[in-house]
Structure 1
Amino acid sequence: MSSSIPRFAAVSAVVASALAAGLLAGPSSAAAESTVAEAAATDGAAGVRIHDIQGTTRVSPLVGKQVTGVTGIVTGVRTYGSRGFWIQDPEADANPATSEGVFVFTSSAPTVAVGDAVRLNGTVTEYVPGGLTSGNQSMTQISKPVVTVLSKGNPVPAPVTISDESVPEEYAPEGDPAAGGSINGLTLDPETYALDHYESLEGMNVEIGSSRVVGATDPYSELWVTVKPWENDNERGGTVYGSYESQNTGRLQIQQLAPVSQQPFPKANVGDWLDGTTEGPLDFNQYGGYTLVARTLGERVDGGLEREVTDRQHKNELAVATYNVENLDPTDPQEKFDALAKAVVENLSSPDVVALEEIQDNNGAKNDGTVAADQTVKKFTDAIVAAGGPAYEWRSIDPQDGKDGGEPGGNIRQVFLFNPARVSFVDRAGGDATTPVAVTGEKGDAHLTVSPGRIDPANTAWESSRKPLAGEFRFRGRTVIVVANHLSSKGGDESIVSHHQPPNRSSDARRLLQAQAVNAFVKDIEAVDKQADVLVVGDMNDFEFSGTTQAMTDGGALRPAMLSLPESERYSYVYQGNSQVLDQILTSPGVHHFEYDSVHINAEFADQDSDHDPQVLRFRP
């Protein structure tokens, strides 16, 4: 799961939805207060201050209007991406729901500096990061500004501290049913709801103290911390997302104001710390919501996180793994193949069967009709041998060109690797991109009509999505059926900082239908053999508590092996500081005893070979 969307896209929109609010800033210097107060007194702006612009809801009461003579101290200047600067009024009002800061969108590089006292005219707008259809909250800003610098070198208004004590435990209010579930029109209650608390500080100068990293540094020079280190924590330093009601209110995204060309950004893993004070304006963007854009950044302290190594299977145990290798194709550097191969051999201890997701065709994203992936798989299996692993054989089915979604031209698919020295694959001809696999019985044993085969490929649930790949294996005289999945992504879902609360999760409907199709297939197997050994594995793109997982398990056909782990260990992916489940292995009732491991080697690290952690299950068929 990856994104190619440019960061900080500067798209401004006037809408009736989104930002305002504020907690009182700390006392500022008398000189700065005097400069701003005098300017306000001499301007003919009818006394409009920043807190008047922000108002007490998420949408400015002055949206779309021209304002004149707005005054404040510059607290931050951004010269890249969405260019502009933040100003803050050092004379706060007494209402904790009105912010004293606001972003001024300049489009071109600003000419002001931190500490400037300014007076400006402009238009109040609501900018929706990600666009009007994204469901994101909007950010109140002043656009098309005409700026006058009144004085320089003023102290920045004292920061408001964001801490475990200041951030409420409840995440967000319920949306207004009369407004389609939106919270935009609700008066902010910053002492009750975390989202309201952050919104009340939008645009203001804020700070956090020493904080634990819960989302590793990404390629865009941003990371996530928590100001609540005890909140749903695990022993590796993360914050676990365990339900739709458990939003982990202490998470906060961190960026820096200085371009990385001028000031390197810390390369941090989950479990590291930002030690000391991190201070700067509180922004809102589409890639995580509320973001502290630091003028001053704490120092990274290494938490010592190490990549896990799973136990090797015993002689009589079959080890089955699933691993999303993130759009692997022959144009990737050899270093990526080598790193993934080393992980299979060393961290996964050379499983007997490995179901791979996101294997691309032989020329990757080049869209020329190529669908074969034999070169991709050979390059990978050769790298595994070079790393000291087994000489895996493989089985798969090439998709129809452009029919399985993913990166355009890439034709991603699932692939089975298997170690022929330990397990055999039962080949039955006839499986192709459009032929459905079925179940047949022989002396009470369930078998596949084609192997490998695709489950119900004509079902509209799989339109522009990967079709499940079923394969029949033999291990020590026992039949084991493995179904490799890569369900539809969460693309199109609203984020958890949406102005709809709860957010709209439109992608759920497609995955629900897909899960029902898989469940029906497993029930066909179990109708022939109640004790059949079936493993449903892969990137489910959904949580262990989701409706997708519930549909997979309907009627007791399957059980999520993830639930065998302690709650704090249930995760395979880290998104916006939440350690959460996307990858799963589910077992049929015939799989009585097993050991399960979510092997954490990628998702928590700044250096990743993939963005997913692989899963391994060991059992005796």
Structure 2
Amino acid sequence: MTKPTAARPRSRTLLRATVPAAVAASLVLVPLPGAFAAPSTGAVIAEVYGGGGNSGATLKNDFIELANKGGGAFGLTGYSVQYLTGSPSASSQWGVTQLTGSIAPGGRFLVAEAAGAGGTVDLPTPDASGNLALSGTSGTVALVSGTTALTCKTAADCAADPRVVDLVGFGTAVVHEGSASAAGASNTASVARSAALADTDDNAADLKAGAPTPVNSKGEAAEGGSGSTGPTEPGSVRIHDIQGNTRTSPKVGKTIAGIPGVVTGVRTYGSKGFWMQDPNPDADPATSEGVFVYTGSAAPAVKVGDSVLVTAKVTEYYPAYSGGGQSVTELSNPQVTVVSSGNAVPAPVVLDASTIPAAYTPDAAGGSIENLPLQPGSYALDRFESLEGMNVEVRNVPVVQATDQYHELWVDARCADPRSGRGGVVYLGYDRPNTGRIMVQSLGAAADFPTANVGDQLLGATSGPLDYNQFGGYTIAATGLGTVQDNGLKREVTDRAQPSELTVATYNVENLDPGDPADKFAQLATGVVTNLRSPDIVTLEEIQDNNGPTNDGTVAADVTINKFIDAVKAAGGPAYEWRSINPVDGKDGGEPGGNIRQVFLFNPARVSFTDIAGGDSTTAVDVTGTGKHTALTASPGRIDPNNEAWTTSRKPLVGQFSFHNKPVFVIANHFNSKGGDQGLDSRFQAPTRSSEVQRVKQATVEHDFVAKLLAADPDARIVSLGDFNDYQFSTALTTLTQGGVLRDLVNELPARERYSYVYQGNSQVLDHILVSPALKRQHVEYDVVHINSEFAQQASDHDPQVVRIKP
């Protein structure tokens, strides 16, 4: 499988680790934070808990949580946290846990200590671990510059020790800062600083008892929540204040009390939580009135129409697997009070050509656009961001990407985006991203999600909160779905070739191996026989070795290939013969263990293969002879396989054929994937296409080989085809065609037919057939045969294509 961004995992969840929730309806006041003394500028001990695993405890382990109030990272290598019993004797000693790493500015650092016999909940993944057995009720913890055990046993002596960076005494501890130790520690309560991390050097004033809330450097918290009760009255901060007028919240990292809203959608699977929206918006169109409340592993105890008050920490979550994705402003570790039920949900904002701008995004010269003020009237990405979490709606929209296995599809809400001849939207340039594309998921049962193909219509209203998907793209989390109008999209069949025409096709068969279902082989074979009309030569990409992803050194693929050939014969096709070269194990990229490669199939009744010994996985093929005597030094062979351009990527396979006694040189390609590229909707604009660097190198190597063939015989008939993993307007393809050594046939199609693949709602080109100058335009007929990419039921994610040549 090849995609313009990182490939999807085989199983899909929406799980991620942030802070879990405690949802309650009892009416106990949660006050807003009061005034604090000026916080210290370095690292502090933020929370101490010694009840882990004790009777009544939920958490299994004791822990010490550090925090950094400084503006730069606080290095911890050479530091330690140390513990002394609350009432030390002459023989008492400080226990030591050594630290490494650092605390990010504003970040946390979690040190797991000893486990007790009880408890049911694990700490979030700790940043460091020790075996200190803290008392649940009384003791002293110190952050120390050094790893040698302290010797002080009085408050005065410890205050005089310059190695002590911070110190917390709790319960009745003799050693503490200020007037007294922090009170209230127990098997079920920690002592912790406020959200402002105030440090006045008085433990009794600076730390208060409460439910333990361990958080690690990634912002992850323990599952299950604190059991605290919810707020009773609205605070002064509203959702639009939290969202702000940029992509990230001005309140990030702060705990906000009593945020009011009406529940607009509830997600009970994957990343559980609910959306809420303020029914009383402000006058600024850049500030969203909606937000997602993340409840972790706990199913939210609210329903659509509930009026709620939420006290929670503001976080920014980056769901996209690919680099550079947008963030989602969320409320985490929430305490929720349901005030009333059955309230009207705020009316949705309709997304259409009148509300979605034609321009996609501001350009930040490759930098982040996160802190730029949103301009929702000027840019589509800004429009979507300004509606993040709000109730939105599309009406009577075309489906531009079919329903997939994850129960999602894409529609286009802007009628001005260029349409394909079959109902999709065509991607025709980096500056033409098609701004109306939007994904639709459902908050209902997966079984109820409609099956639709490209060109179908989603009639009526589809509405719900606007989310951002982990695979990139703004998404309607639909509480209500329109109905699908089936417009009867048919799989294409290419025109029949004349006997005098040579037909050459390419087909990415998507990680085919012998363990795949017989139905996949049969569908792929039908595509070759029926839809492509049994081409004389077929280049296959993504043929895996004989045991597929099993990573045991197997590289031969004869079982895979022969199973495919048998399927073609069973479908009524010819008895193809084949040629290929086994790759070096693990050196050609793709699914680990699969050893994907390109393969030539050919019909010996129509065309002959010129076998020339000497081709193997590491020997470079060359050109010999001139004019009509031009030939390859090996057939099949590989083009410069040791060149660094092909590192962890497929090497081009070149073969010499004869048709009507005329030589034809065919190059089967599968350039490196787009994995790691920043997406069209990246927060970095213009997005970085890092993978393109290698494809340009690959194109240069192949261009020079083709130029060498043409230097030997300017009339050489060359067909270069396959999955180039890039667009017709990309630097890689313009490099490959530089100087006219090859021409890309997709550019000779009408613009609305230029696609072989559909991704994020864009019908786009990844597969190409290119030919040399000797194959004149009037002697070439080219066809992309749409049988997969537009359909919910696919044999592959690529459409095959074929060229008919009169040599």
| Superposition TM-score tier, normalisation by shorter sequence | over 0.9
Instruction: Please give the per-residue CA displacement for 1:143-192, whole angstroms capped at 9, x wherever unaligned.
Output: 100101101111111111111111010000112x5xx5111111111011
Which residue of 2 is the match for residue 76 of structure 1? 265
Contact map agreement 1:444 1:528 (CA 8 A) in 2:
no
Contact map agreement 2:550 2:594 (CA 8 A) in 1:
yes
Which aligned segments of 4 or more residues in structure 1 are displaced greater than 6 angstroms?
Answer: 13-16
1:375 and 1:365 mapped to 2: Cα distance?
A: 14
2:13 and 2:489 mapped to 1: Cα distance?
A: 28
Which residue of 2 is the match for residue 582 of structure 1? 766
Q: 1:142 aligns with which of 306, 331, 341?
A: 331
Aligned residues: CA RMSD = 1.6
What displacement does 1:443 show? 4.9
Give matches, 1:128-527, under 5 Å. Answer: 128-130=318-320, 134-175=323-364, 177=365, 181-260=367-446, 263-527=447-711
Larger Rg: 2
Which residue of 2 is the match for residue 571 of structure 1? 755
Deviates more, 1:133-142 or 1:69-78: 133-142
1:59 aligns with 2:248: yes
Structure 1 counterpart of 2:16, which letter? A
1:535 and 1:291 mapped to 2: Cα distance?
A: 41
Instruction: Please give the per-residue CA displacement for 1:316-356, whole angstroms capped at 9, x wherever unaligned.
Output: 11000000000011101111111111110100011000000
Structure 1 counterpart of 2:599, which letter? V
Contact map agreement 2:392 2:466 (CA 8 A) in 1:
yes
What displacement does 1:429 show? 0.8
Contact map agreement 2:320 2:326 (CA 8 A) in 1:
no
Deviates more, 1:280-289 or 1:109-118: 280-289
SS at match of 2:241: helix
1:136 and 1:214 mapped to 2: Cα distance?
A: 22
Structure 1 counterpart of 2:702, which letter? V
SS at match of 1:518: helix
2:391 and 2:419 mapped to 1: Cα distance?
A: 28
Which residue of 1 is the match for residue 293 of structure 2? 104
Q: Assess, with a 3 A threshold, how the Cα gap between structure 1 residues 517 and 284 changes in structure 2: closer, same or farther.
A: same
1:10 aligns with 2:20: no
2:472 and 2:586 mapped to 1: Cα distance?
A: 31
SS at match of 1:382: helix
1:222 and 1:292 mapped to 2: Cα distance?
A: 10
What displacement does 1:15 show? 10
TM-score by length of 2: 0.72
SS at match of 1:277: strand
2:627 and 2:462 mapped to 1: Cα distance?
A: 68
Structure 2 counterpart of 1:352, which letter? D
2:408 and 2:530 mapped to 1: Cα distance?
A: 30
Instruction: Please give the per-residue CA displacement for 1:118-153, whole angstroms capped at 9, x wherever unaligned.
Output: 00111100001136x821110100010010110111
What displacement does 1:278 show? 0.5
What displacement does 1:446 show? 2.0
SS at match of 1:362: coil
What displacement does 1:582 show? 0.2
1:417 and 1:444 mapped to 2: Cα distance?
A: 25
Contact map agreement 1:355 1:415 (CA 8 A) in 2:
yes
Which residue of 2 is the match for residue 28 of structure 1? none
Structure 2 counterpart of 1:304, which letter? G
TM-score by length of 1: 0.93
What displacement does 1:286 show? 2.4
What displacement does 1:11 show? 4.0
What displacement does 1:477 show? 1.1
Contact map agreement 1:12 1:128 (CA 8 A) in 2:
no
1:619 aligns with 2:625: no
Which residue of 2 is the match for residue 116 of structure 1? 306
2:583 and 2:232 mapped to 1: Cα distance?
A: 70
1:365 and 1:441 mapped to 2: Cα distance?
A: 42
1:379 and 1:496 mapped to 2: Cα distance?
A: 39
Q: Assess, with a 3 A threshold, how the Cα gap between structure 1 residues 69 and 197 changes in structure 2: closer, same or farther.
A: same
Structure 1 counterpart of 2:347, which letter? A
Relative contact order higher in (CA < 8 Å, ≥ 6 apart): 1
1:86 aligns with 2:275: yes
What displacement does 1:442 show? 4.5
1:191 and 1:15 mapped to 2: Cα distance?
A: 35
1:194 and 1:139 mapped to 2: Cα distance?
A: 17
Structure 2 counterpart of 1:283, which letter? D
Contact map agreement 1:225 1:577 (CA 8 A) in 2:
yes
Contact map agreement 1:170 1:194 (CA 8 A) in 2:
yes
Q: Assess, with a 3 A threshold, how the Cα gap between structure 1 residues 349 and 82 changes in structure 2: closer, same or farther.
A: same
Contact map agreement 2:456 2:487 (CA 8 A) in 1:
yes
Structure 2 counterpart of 1:134, which letter? G
1:444 and 1:397 mapped to 2: Cα distance?
A: 26
SS at match of 1:608: coil
SS at match of 1:549: helix
What displacement does 1:76 show? 0.3
What displacement does 1:81 show? 1.2
Stretches of structure 1 lacking an aligned partner (at least 5 in a row): 17-38
Instruction: Figure out how many residues of one structure are paired with residues of the other and give that number.
Output: 591
1:507 and 1:127 mapped to 2: Cα distance?
A: 25
2:456 and 2:496 mapped to 1: Cα distance?
A: 29
1:322 and 1:284 mapped to 2: Cα distance?
A: 35
Contact map agreement 1:15 1:125 (CA 8 A) in 2:
no
Structure 1 counterpart of 2:690, which letter? S
1:268 and 1:575 mapped to 2: Cα distance?
A: 15
1:557 aligns with 2:754: no
Instruction: Please give the per-residue CA displacement for 1:410-450, whole angstroms capped at 9, x wherever unaligned.
Output: 00000000000000000001111001100111554321000
Instruction: Please give the per-residue CA displacement for 1:465-519, whole angstroms capped at 9, x wherever unaligned.
Output: 1000000000001100000000000000011110011111110001000010110
Structure 2 counterpart of 1:612, which letter? H
What displacement does 1:312 show? 1.8
Structure 2 counterpart of 1:10, which letter? R
Instruction: Please give the per-residue CA displacement for 1:358-397, whole angstroms capped at 9, x wherever unaligned.
Output: 0000111111111100010101001111111110000000
1:539 and 1:428 mapped to 2: Cα distance?
A: 25
